[in-house]
Chains A and B, each alone.
Chain A
Amino acid sequence: MSLIDLTSMAEPDEEEQEKIEETLEGLKEDIPDLCYQCGKCTSGCEAFILLELEPHSIMGKSKAGFIDELVNSDEIWTCMQCFKCQERCPQDLSPVRVIFALKNLAVAAGKEIPSGYQKMLQSVLGNGLIQQPKEVLNRANETRKREDLDLPPVPEPEDMDKVQQILMKATQEKLR
């Protein structure tokens, strides 16, 4: 089952939908009033110049209740996860964690998510890792695999089928 199937399962489910609404409410309460839109988070944001991410405006929009707009935006997927916004916030708020929560909501609501994350999840469901072992090049352009370098086999759960089943269920769970 692909992530698309997993996430689309969540769509028609009313109970699921309700849970999402609750999370949205929770998010509004958390952020909030404390953010006075000083913009310090954005001034140090690693994704601001190149990808136009503005964590302060994400905080502002969340506070104003425009969660749906954010969940549907491409903006939330540009965060580099550097945690500088949280470091800089004079109010001890964490825009990056709000962005994580928004991304989780996007997935739970069955939105199309960037292909990189879809591939990662699919790979984890396959053998437990976000990517498969690669043949790499050395400086002389010769290929090297783990075994060429005397490295042991890459780790993998003995019962990967079981882990996969657990993971499929886990991706349907909400944290809040």
Chain B
Amino acid sequence: MKELGLYLGCVIPTEQYGYEMSIREVLPKFDIELVDLEESTCCGAPLRNVNMFTTMYLSARNMALCEKKGIDLYAPCPICHLGLTEAKESLEENPELKDKINSKLEEEDLQYEGSTELYHTLDLLHDEIGLDEIEDQVEEPLDDLTFAAHYGCNTIRPNDLDRPDDSENPQKLEELMETIGIGTEDYPEKLDCCGGQVISDHNESALTKAGEKIEAVQDQGFDGLSTICPWGHRMLDSKQDSAADTIGESLDLPVMYYIQLLGVAMGIEQSRLGLELNLSPVDNLEAIESIEEAE
């Protein structure tokens, strides 16, 4: 049994409940014990735009919470994962900054050493748990489906920091899909941005980015799109209707977190995977129960 601190960040625990539900449901079946970090806060990454020092302090604080419990940290959000990775590397290179941050953490009886390993959903499933182990637990392979992969910019870039997959040609999400029976292939817009990080101040442009990506996937005949980023999922699923209005097209592409797809393939009760909360028409897929059936 591997214990991991479940570091949810901001977007997941305040609105992307389907991601959190499926994580809590699926991972323990792989012998992972998720330990709640009751006192965690924002990772600080969105505040890079305001003040980098604040970002470092918040990231270090969240890692220090794990250190105190003596466990590694699992951040299902790639933006958090990047923020924490960047803080970890910066503090390793800059002992002076580390001391300064530790003097602030001391006020809460916390200390940051830098001993916490960081995981994202992608490397946790693909590299730690492994494809064989996943395959063993598949009860109902999703053989009839072809899905496109959406990694999220921060999952793979920047390439000077340790990321869960390759920046130019990421394939782990595709391999994970194939492991549960889903067909997939590369498409030209695969690495395009969803616009999520400018949604609050440039709403229309952000929704245009999302809409164009959804349209491209839809036009290429995929049955759906698989996500591993709560910011991307919010744009591509939760806001799919607004994205459609913004670009003046009709969009009806099922969008699901990979871990929801995995849960379905493992035969987990669908109501436990938060599938009612996907606002894209996921029940167009035969394998997915309609809301009435799930009740």
Q: Which residues of A line the B interface, CB within 8 A?
A: 3, 46-47, 50-51, 77-84, 86-87, 92, 94, 96, 100-101, 103-104, 107-108, 113-117, 119-121, 124, 128-134, 136-140, 144, 146, 149-159, 162-163, 166-167, 169-171, 173-175
Contacts and interface: CB of A to CB of B under 8 A. Distances in A.
Contacts of B38: 153, 155-156
Contacts of B97: 175
Contacts of B199: 116
Contacts of B39: 155-158
B20 A151 contact: yes
B235 to A, nearest CB: 11
Interface in B4-25: 8, 10-11, 13-15, 17, 20-21, 24
Interface in B163-211: 167-168, 191-193, 195-202, 205-206, 208-209
B201 A115 contact: yes
Nearest to A96: B158
Contacts of B278: 139
A151 B12 CA distance: 11
A149 B25 CA distance: 12
21 contacts: A80-B195, A80-B197, A81-B197, A82-B157, A100-B48, A117-B200, A128-B41, A130-B11, A133-B15, A134-B15, A139-B277, A139-B278, A149-B274, A151-B13, A152-B36, A162-B108, A163-B108, A167-B54, A170-B51, A173-B53, A175-B53
A109 to B, nearest CB: 12
Interface string B43-81: 000111111111011100100000000000000000000
B40 A155 contact: yes
A84 B190 CA distance: 13
Contacts of B157: 82-84, 86-87
A82 B276 CA distance: 30
B250 interface: no
Most buried by B among A140, A150, A155, A156: A155
B219 interface: no
Contacts of A140: 276, 291
Main secondary structure of the interface of B (DSSP, over half): helix
Interface of B: 8, 10-11, 13-15, 17, 20-21, 24, 36-42, 46-54, 56-58, 61, 97, 100, 104, 107-108, 153-154, 157-160, 167-168, 191-193, 195-202, 205-206, 208-209, 238, 274, 276-279, 281-283, 291
Contacts of B50: 3, 103-104, 107, 113, 117, 120-121, 171
Given A124-B41, A155-B36, A144 B201 contact: no
A166 B57 contact: yes
Contacts of B193: 46, 80, 82, 84
A158 B108 CA distance: 10
A47 to B, nearest CB: 7
Contacts, number: 199
B41 A138 contact: no
Contacts of B208: 50
Contacts of A149: 17, 21, 274
A155 B37 contact: yes
Contact of B54 (A139, A144, A171): A171
A167 B59 CA distance: 12
Given A81-B197, A136-B15, A167-B58, 7 more contacts: A77-B49, A81-B154, A121-B50, A153-B38, A157-B39, A170-B51, A173-B51
Contacts of B53: 170-171, 173-175
Most buried by B among A100, A124, A144: A124
